[in-house]
Amino acid sequence: MLHKKHVIRASLLLFLIVLSLTSYRIVSFLQGSAAIEQEWKAYKPDPIVNFGSTKHLSILPLVNWHTDNGALKGEAGVSYLIKTDNNTILFDVGFNKNQESPSPLEHNMKQLAVTLDSIDTIFMSHAHLDHSGGQQWVNKNTFSIGLEQTDLAGKDIYAATHTTYPNNKVNVIPEATVIGPGIASLGAISRQLFLGRIEEQALVINVENKGLVFIVGCGHQTVPKILTRAQQIFNEDIYGIVGDLHYPIPEGRLSLLGINLQKYLASGEGPHNPISFETMDNELNMLQELGLRFIALGGHDTSDEAIEYFNTKFGDGYRHVKVGDWIEIAK
């Protein structure tokens, strides 16, 4: 009898602890979201004029969910190689979910004959584990291409929030910034996720006779805010988007203890209100109304169902992101 009483008491205590922790998370989520909306309304970015252009733009997905062939490794992370007239940029460094050596990024680079020597710039979209080479590096405000941090001396590294790298000074650029001829960052756009606040920046490339191409990492910024910010800063028309826009509808790619992380904790308006098909459709209409000519969508945080929907809606303007499959925007 006494034993039963103890069990009831312990269960009640556990229930109260879980309840107060959840309530705390919900309150900080709501307060954080409200603060970000206020900041967003008050912020007026400086325009960027005449930042040059590039004749050529080719993008090679190095890490993502889908792959071009069985010799390449896919995972729920992101890395792109971006080539312009003057620069070769590594955009994010993958997940390395199993913390293996070589990492999927290193493995795919070798398969695709991409050497670190050929890369002059590293652009980090945001400090999430699936873009930084694993949580252990995010915890230390850094990132890693492999299981150990390789020497990146002499490369220009850009991040939107405080980031360090051994023997290299990381350029922290929260505001929209020109980083090369025809190459700029869109600046950090904040988002309150249930997981916590995140600042994400997209890369913007001005392609001669075409317009702006955006490369997006996770898409936490949301499409409406990316478009609004772009119109505040740039004069040029938007030609296309390459990257990942976070549509885990009906389900995302990552689960923990049966909870779909991308769907409930990293998108939408909190766990009780995940992102809906209607929201995605509205955002897609927004892109179409803008006259967007080209979209290549990655699948690391977007479902196959959502990808198929983009495909039917955009038709010829749609390209699927697959590791190892070059996206030639301007040859």
**What are the residues binding Zn ion (CB under 5 A)?**
128, 130, 218, 301
CB of 193 to Zn ion, least distance (A): 8
Q: Based on CB atoms, which residue is closest to Zn ion, 104 or 182?
A: 104
Contacts of 180 (CB under 8 A, 6+ apart): 52, 84, 86, 87, 121
- Give the shortest CB-186-to-Zn ion separation in angstroms: 16
Six-digit token pair at 221?
């910024």
Q: Look up residue 37 and give its two tokens.
A: 């909306």
Contact partners, residue 237, CB within 8 Å, separation at least 6: 211, 212, 291
- Nearer of residues 130 and 236 to Zn ion, judged by Cβ: 130
The distance of closest approach from Cβ of residue 95 to Zn ion in the complex, given in angstroms and rounded to an integer, is 8
Least distance to Zn ion from the beta carbon of 77, Å?
7
Nearer to Zn ion, 191 or 210 (CB): 191
N- to C-terminal Cα separation, the chain: 79
Toward Zn ion, which CB reaches closer, 64 or 206?
64
Contact, 324 vs 72, CB < 8 A? yes
Complex with Zn ion: residue 160 or 330, whichever CB lies closer: 160
Do the bridges between strand 203-207 and strand 57-63 make them parallel or antiparallel, or are there none, so unpaired? unpaired
State the nearest-atom distance from the C-beta of 120 to Zn ion, in Å: 24
If you write DSSP's letter for every residue of 94-150 in order, what string do you get?
---TT--SS-HHHHHHHHTT--GGG--EEE-----HHHHTSHHHHTTT---SSSSPP
